[in-house]
Amino acid sequence: MSTTTLQSLQLTDEQQTLVNTVREFADTVVAPAAYEYDTKRELPYDIIAQMGEMGLFGLPFPEQYGGRGKDYFQLCLAVEQLGRVDQSIGVTLEAGVGLGAMPIYRSGSEAQKAEHLPDLASGRHLAGFGLTEAEAGSDAGATQTTARLEGDEWVINGTKQFITNSGTQITKLVTVTAVTGESTRPDGSVKKELTAIIVPNGTPGFVVEPAYDKVGWHTSDTHPLTLTEVRVPAANLLGERGRGFANFIQTLDEGRVAFAALATGAAQGCLEEAMRYAKSRNVFGRPIGSNQHIAFQIARMESRVHMARLAYYDAALKLVNGQPFKKEASLAKMISSEAAMENARMATQIFGGYGFMNANPVARHYRDSKVLELGEGSTEVQLMIIARELGFDTFR
């Protein structure tokens, strides 16, 4: 490995300052409120507003759109620190930027960027990305929602499910994918033309159904959506007609890197809690961490965090440097989510009975971490992508 590559994995002073600032905010503002909001199953709007004032939602966007002019790596660093103490807050930022605002920044017209990005980059508003449907999850190309062009309007019909940030008090829009046509391939099979369309909140026929009763991520906002004869201007087309599939693949590739940062933060949070408790909890007259078994488990937790962080730094640096990062994003997403789940399991074990109490942060990580192995492409989907990048035909 070249010296240049090694140096690139060291944080700059600016990056380290961001980490320190968000870490302190996470410890002093987010963590103390996490149990209360988790129990209420409410998004803490005051905390989201403070994150907006800190510029976290604008990190990767240019200043001309109300952003901070930083990059996607800095977004990841912020997400990691929030995910360490509260995954729901971490994913609200990750999905708000990575899934909500980023497609508009990457594919939007100048008018769309000017209209939406200042609101999203400031955290005054959130946006969702509606891809998943009952019959289109891992196989996202199987979308059944349709959009037909009538005059200068798109008319959208269908349902979406599990859409993050789609029903908050500050949700401005959801970008939905829809079938806008079909063509026949040379082998006779039908190819769907998928297109992304911006649907503003409050559009008649666009119904945000009641929130899910989830196992974890209680504070994060997740809803099914129903679209019945929803009419939006033709100008709400996001990117080119028929490029919806390519655009959401790009969105998901990028999103997985920030998602990996979130999972790395969760794994780190479990490690920190377990270390603290193993040093302070006395059983049989000595700290439980004096038992080699417990210390070795904590050493394993540290090794998982280390691998997860290296994996997402690598993917993020390739992303911001314009290098191919698809395989690295999937590796990072899979490694980090498994690290979070395993560290959450081990941390609850180390806490004994108290680890089973909801007020304990590791109990929340235990409930929250499972979805890290499912959202933004399950572990199996990451394996499909990695295998395909290695030359195997796995998408069947």
Please identify every residue annotated as catalytic. 376
Give the nearest residue (CB) to ligand FAD. 137
Of 146 and 378, nearer to ligand FAD (C-beta) is 378
Phi, psi angle pair for 222, to nearest 5°? -140, 125
User: SS3 for 181?
Assistant: strand
**What's the min distance (Å) between Cβ of 223 and ligand FAD?**
10
Q: Which of 269, 267, 361, 255 is nearest to 316 (CA)?
A: 255
- Minimum CB–partner distance for residue 171 and ligand FAD (Å): 12
Q: In residues, how long is the chain?
A: 396
Considering beta carbons, is residue 78 or 99 the nearer one to ligand FAD?
99
Separation CA 302–CA 172 (nearest Å)? 40
Distances (CA, A) of 74 to 54, 77, 155, 353: 13, 5, 38, 37
DSSP result, 311-376: HHHHHHHHHHTT---HHHHHHHHHHHHHHHHHHHHHHHHHTGGGGGSTTSHHHHHHHHHGGGGTTT
| Least Å from the CB of residue 277 to ligand FAD | 28
Q: Rounded CA gap, 142 and 378, in Å?
A: 16
Q: Which residues bind ligand FAD (CB under 6 A)?
A: 95, 99, 128-132, 137-138, 162-164, 214, 217, 222, 371, 374-378, 380-381
Residue closer to ligand FAD (CB basis): 95 or 261 = 95
Q: Name the residue nearer to ligand FAD (CB basis): 339 or 371.
A: 371
Per the CB < 8 A criterion, the answer to whether 84 and 266 are in contact is: yes
Nearer to ligand FAD, 66 or 255 (CB): 255
- Residue 142 CB, nearest approach to ligand FAD (Å): 9
DSSP letter at 164 equals E
Smallest gap from residue 114 Cβ to ligand FAD (A): 24
